[in-house]
Amino acid sequence: MTALGQEAKHSVVVLHQLIERMFNQPSGEDDTFHLLLSHFHPDFRMVTPQGRQLDLNQTEELFRQLQGKREGMRIATSEHAVISQQKDEVTIQYRELQMMNGSDQTRIALAILDCSTSIPRWRYLHETLVA
C-alpha cells in the first residue's frame, strides 16, 4: 500500500473512532463534533445504506441528531483496500462493523478521500448493508 493509501486507511480508522465517540457522548462535552466535521470536504456527498443521498450540510444535521443517542455503540473497520489512486485522491473500500447491545450490523463502504491536505478530507462515501 502506498503512503497515500496508508493515509487513507488511517483516516478511515480515525474518522470512525470520532463517530463512535460522538455517538456515545452528549453534545458539548468536548470538541469531537467539530473535529469530526473537519475531516469532510466542503463538497462531500454520501449515499446512506438506505439509499438516501446527503450533502455535507445534511450529513452534519444527521450527526447532530445522533450525537449522544447511541451509548454503548462500538465501531470497527477492517478489510481496507485501496481501489484507485489519482494524484492526491484515494478511493478506498472497507468493511464497517457497528456493535450495540448485542446487535451487530455490517456495511461495506466505498470512500473517496482528498489527501492533498494534512488531514485527508472525505469527498464521497457510499455505504451498503451486508445481509
pLDDT at 59: 96
Q: d(Cα 127, Cα 97) in Å, to the nearest integer?
A: 12
In contact, 123 and 115? CB cutoff 8 Å: no
Whole-structure pTM value: 0.91
pLDDT at 102: 86
pLDDT at 131: 81
Sorted by where each begins, the domain ranges of the chain are 3-129
pLDDT at 29: 65
Per-residue HEC secondary structure of 13-80 comes to: HHHHHHHHHHHHCCCCCCCHHHHHHCCEEEEEEEECCCCCEEEHHHHHHHHHHHCCCCCCCEEEEEEE
Fold of the domain spanning 3-129: Nuclear Transport Factor 2; Chain: A, (3.10.450)
Q: In a structure prediction context, what are the per-residue pLDDT tens digits for the chain, which is 131 residues long?
A: 788 899 999 999 999 999 999 999 877 667 888 999 999 999 999 999 999 999 999 999 999 998 888 989 999 999 999 999 999 999 999 999 999 988 999 999 999 999 999 899 999 999 999 98
What is the C-alpha end-to-end distance of the chain, expressed in Å?
Answer: 29
